[in-house]
Amino acid sequence: MAIYFKDGFYHDDFGGFVPKGAVEISEEKYVELLEGQAKGKQIIGDSTGNPVLVEPQPSPAHELKEGEWIISPSKLTALLNEQRAAVWEKIKQNGTIIYAVACM
């Protein structure tokens, strides 16, 4: 049984589908990757297509570059603005509740 990786795992048992460009990995590597994933890591393909474990993506705005999650200044600004807006909405909602209780 051979195991392959290309944005997921594939086995060639019984003529199973293996996508073009998939890389073959050992059973030991397969187990290592699954154990890492069970501990919260993310499995991705490196620049050569080989599967590696990385920390989970911090936010949808982050991009993986050379094994490190980065965020561009413009995406960081947008992310912070979204978070500020969400916090402000919670403050407004809770403020209304607090005001209503205080006026009773």
pLDDT score for 104:
61
Same domain, 43 and 92: no
d(C-alpha 62, C-alpha 72), whole Å:
8
pLDDT in tens, 16-58: 788 999 999 999 999 999 999 999 999 999 889 999 999 999 9
CA atoms within 13 A on the CB side of 83: 8
On whether both 35 and 67 belong to a single domain, the answer is no
> Is 86 buried (19+), middle (13-18) or exposed (0-12) by CB count in 10 A?
exposed
Written as six digits, the tokens of 27 are: 């059973």
- Could you count the other beta carbons within 10 Å of the beta carbon of residue 11? 13
Q: Give the residue numbers spanning the domain of 51.
A: 1-56
Q: What is the count of structural domains for the chain?
A: 2
